[in-house]
Amino acid sequence: MGMGLMNDIVFVGLDVHKATIAVAVAEGARGGEIRELEPRRVCRRPFCSNQAAMAV
């Protein structure tokens, strides 16, 4: 495993609560960019589409 592989890695963090899910994405390279996406509401119906679940 060379050090070049770390450039291809992306870390994803999830902060899950009853009503929302927050997502953060970080690049694997040292000093890589970290992005936090806005929290999304959780769809409570079992037949929801992904678009409905991602609507804010």
Report how far residue 42's alpha carbon sits from residue 46's, in angstroms, rounded to the nearest whole number.
11
Q: Indicate the domain borders of the chain.
A: 3-54
Model pLDDT, residue 49: 58
pLDDT in tens, 11-21: 999 988 888 88
Confidence of residue 52 (pLDDT cuts 50, 70, 90): very low
Q: What are phi and psi of 42, to 5 degrees?
A: -90, 130
pLDDT in tens, 19-48: 888 899 998 888 888 999 888 877 766 666
